[in-house]
Chains A and B, each alone.
Chain A
């Protein structure tokens, strides 16, 4: 082996040893609980049933029960609606806002900072803010509607509006994230492209569709994917605003898993719900990445 090869081998060995402590810590804090979750999902574990945590007599029992559980199936559907509309609004509005605020001005800089506030608030505070907004007898929204003689229904206890109410609150909270991502992408586009297009007689819409959009598409896909993964964690909003109701209209999968574990005491079954949800999120995320790559390859 040449001297350079020896140095490279030495460096690789050093890198492995240097990384080992971090990997061990990462495995312990992320890997072990995940493995325990999988193991638990293979048992009928109930807190008040001693021995049930090590009962592997029918390991797939929980998974077999899932398709026949109407609340679980409904929760997936609710989650899909919440994720789809939430991510769509957040990406589109974030992009629109970024395009509007992609200029140099002190006022705009202040506005950018202002738009970041919802994202940095603790999720439970966001939920409380929206609880106040949605409560008819104390809400400024209802007060303003009253002044305009508009009769608003109760948004969080209405079958037709409850999920929309959560989507609106979720969008308000996470819009700044997509806004920031797109704004950063816009700032990397060289001005020469749009200047040349203007000289060639392109209008603003054509510049957007043929120059800006292709540049920011990867960022839109990435932020959409991040938000998609995060959208399954809209727990505080559901917990505080609707409690999954009315009926099961806003009962998303992780809220159902929470109820199963902590209200009904079915830890094993709840774990299987969580595992299925995790697999679905991974599958959808991979699908989004695959579509993004395919689009890039075609371009």
Chain B
């Protein structure tokens, strides 16, 4: 108690700023900083409001009408569309396929990306050799999804080179219809997506690896840690935030994959590769059920938002 009083006295005696003026100055400075931050942010905020907030409100609006776009006088039907979509087994089939496609892709992307990044980051091979390999390993990333789809349709053709190689190795017999057979199509599609997507992880993790201070490894070495221990106690903790971000981004992007499925199988055979995006697209642009398509789109949005909020929380606890 007495110490507290004495400090106060000491402060006001020292008094560079009288106590009444101090908060005003502080607030003025804070406001100025707020304004500066707002200035830096305004282009982003304007773009996001016009191009994101408005369409989302529109699609939610569409989903409560009995029909839109094709019907000039749509009527509000409340949540009836939601009941219809949620009662549709094809919607759940598409959801199940999306989940398999996405989870498998993300896990394998992460494993391949980290493995390749670490191989490319080892100092025991000359820089030039590493540069050549890095270029080759990045290649799949440099192709648009449309190109990837066409290329793999050529290679996975029953008469294509993949069947030839597998048959020569004795792994299969006969011509397998990788994309046409209901038993294999989803696996084949997932494989293509894995091939096309891992370089994003690899490049990001390589940058992450190169950002880890060498001192950390030196210190771990001095403490007698072997390479495996250095990996577990230095590399992984240092990369963890990056890995979490990458997995979430990949999860979100892979659930939204459209072009690859559209240009390889189109959701077939017999809906075995139908995912939520192709299901919704067909509802809108093949069957012209724009309200039902909007409802499906809103449900996908809600699921995506749950994942996103989950991620935002994990990020918050990290800070």
A binds B: no
